[in-house]
Amino acid sequence: MGVVLPVLLACVAAFSNALATVLQRRAALDVPQARGLRPGLVLDLLRQPVWLGGMLAVVVAGVGQAAALATGPLSLVQPLFVLELPLALLLASWVTGRRLPGTLWAAVAVVVAGLGLALASAAPSGGVTEVSLARWVPVLAACAAAVFLLAGAGLRRPVGKARAGCLGAATAICYALTAGLIKDSMRVLDTDGVAGFLSAWQTYGFAAAGAGAVLLLEHALQGGPLIASQPALTLGDATVSLLLGLLLYREDVRTGWWILPQAAGVALVSVGVVTLARRGFDLRTGR
């Protein structure tokens, strides 16, 4: 199967997620701060029309992501969500009426160029369509343990970079795991129809992982500056998704000397993401 369709679908989903991030951050800054993992935070946010708009964008992104994962490799689709950050900054500049400085335009270009270089040189392809439960169990256990450790470490910290970074990394793992489970559930939908989809454990697995990601994301956004949470979220999601694609779905990427341009692309993306997170706008005050 070609790469054009999954790439287009992933880009649509990335744009919707970027819009959701802008709207959710505005809402998260307008509700009482949470010191611990407080489920009541979601109830506060439900009273914010802006947050509800963000959740609608999340739904649109989820549909686009599911379609992309159904038609392309996990290791190709998920790294494209790195585009969320530059798209979110562009949307934020429009919402706040502030012009994007030249430095940030340059960082956007660096992210796009680095992502293109990394994916073109890696050329993710192939993979199996079905993952056995025996392969899923150790991956689920490892991801759950990592999420609990990172979330626990973050919540024990005061508001600041360490708290936001840990919660952002935990959110990234949940997002990557959600994507992996969505891909498997789309296979079930294709082979067993709606009835099979609704009875498959993968369907409820991605719903639970997605709900956990939403809760952790809101706490990460409140937990500290974007310079800490956003790189951990953006780069962590892409990295864990790539590992899941290789380990679970046995997808192929180029090796040998191709690793050099891949590493260069990753370095460019990392520099661009950190610059965007450091110099980006505060979505509430526009500074």
Give the DSSP letter of residue 200.
-
Within 8 A by CB and 6+ apart from 285, the residues are none
Residue 14 or 30, more confident: 14
Instruction: Say which residue the tokens 């979505």 belong to.
Output: 283
- Mean pLDDT, range 165-172, rounded to an integer: 92
Give the per-residue pLDDT at 46: 61
- For residues 98 and 160, give the distance between their C-alpha atoms in angstroms, rounded to a whole number: 26
Are the C-beta atoms of 272 and 110 separated by less than 8 Å? yes
Are the C-beta atoms of 162 and 220 separated by less than 8 Å? no
Does pLDDT of 93 surpass 90?
A: no
pLDDT in tens, 240-261: 999 999 999 999 999 899 999 9
- For residues 177 and 181, give the distance between their C-alpha atoms in angstroms, rounded to a whole number: 6
Q: What are phi and psi of 201, to 5 degrees?
A: -65, -30
Give the per-residue pLDDT at 32: 54
Per-residue pLDDT band at 26 (split at 50, 70, 90) = low
Amino acid code (one letter) for 148: F
pLDDT in tens, 171-186: 999 999 999 999 999 9
Within 8 A by CB and 6+ apart from 91, the residues are 18, 19, 22
CA separation (Å) from 192 to 72, 203, 278?
A: 20, 13, 47
- For residues 116 and 264, give the distance between their C-alpha atoms in angstroms, rounded to a whole number: 11
Q: Collapsing DSSP states into helix, strand and coil, what is residue 269?
A: helix
Does pLDDT of 264 surpass 60?
A: yes
Q: Which of 49-53, 97-101, 130-134 tops mean pLDDT?
A: 130-134
Give the per-residue pLDDT at 3: 83
Are the C-beta atoms of 245 and 75 separated by less than 8 Å? yes
Comparing C-alpha atoms, which of 25, 7, 18 is closest to residue 284?
25
Whole-model pTM above 0.75? yes
Question: Percentage of the chain surpassing pLDDT 70?
Answer: 87
Residue 27 or 15, more confident: 15
Mean model confidence pLDDT for the chain: 84
- For residues 147 and 166, give the distance between their C-alpha atoms in angstroms, rounded to a whole number: 9
- Mean pLDDT, range 19-24, rounded to an integer: 78
Are the C-beta atoms of 13 and 68 separated by less than 8 Å? yes
Does pLDDT of 31 surpass 80?
A: no
> Per DSSP, what are the bridge partners of residue 125?
252
Give the per-residue pLDDT at 284: 37
- Mean pLDDT, range 144-168, rounded to an integer: 90
- For residues 213 and 56, give the distance between their C-alpha atoms in angstroms, rounded to a whole number: 16
- For residues 205 and 190, give the distance between their C-alpha atoms in angstroms, rounded to a whole number: 18
Sign of CA dihedral 112, 113, 117, 123: positive
Q: Collapsing DSSP states into helix, strand and coil, what is residue 136?
A: helix
